[in-house]
Amino acid sequence: MRIIGGEYGGRRVNPPSKMPYTRPTTDIAKEGLFNILQNNIELENLKTLDLFGGTGSISYELASRGATHLTVVEKDPNMAEFIKKTGLDLKIGNLKVVKMDAFRFMEQCTDTFGFIFAGPPYALEAINDIPIIISEKNLLKQSGWFVLEHTPRNHYEGYPLFVTTRAYGTTLFSIFVNK
């Protein structure tokens, strides 16, 4: 796994070999996503939330491109520790790792974010609830973006704040914006 661009661009991150619930976003999909983001929102000084953090790949990419307040929610203790250690290795001083279930975090969160990313397990039964909770809990700042990674079997047209879906092979990103 590598960081695509920005300050840490080209750096490799080696996640643990045994990651029972983690499916890292592919480099091709991540590159496509960040091309979209960089052409539409200002990443510098952005306050971000990475739900279902997994390896932390999306947050490292955000930090590399200037995001200044990064919160990663990951319930697996081994992966949460990996994210913390990698953040220290990369000298990302503004990375906060929350070891908690993402749904529990969203329900009790009172903060707002300029960018939220959720890369849940594809088989998660409650995946369709995520955009609804984010909208109902007002977790996005005005003009903030939320990106949900999913498979082609999920469709979010008609959901609150939905704008578009972009496909990278079998990886899809649905984009929601708080206009």
- Express each pLDDT in 25-45 by its tens digit: 778 899 999 999 999 999 999
Residue 105 neighbours by CB under 8 Å, 6+ apart = 51, 73, 98
Helix (H, G, I), strand (E, B) or coil at 3: coil
Residue 60 in contact with residue 8, Cβ under 8 Å? Answer: yes
Give pTM, 2 decimals: 0.94
Which residues in the chain belong to E strands, given as ranges?
Answer: 47-51, 69-73, 95-98, 113-118, 140-150, 162-168, 171-177
- Express each pLDDT in 67-97 by its tens digit: 999 999 999 999 999 999 999 999 998 999 9
Give domain 27-177's CATH architecture: 3-Layer(aba) Sandwich (3.40)
Give the whole-angstrom CA distance, residue 55 versus residue 74: 9
Q: Enumerate the domain spans of the chain.
A: 27-177
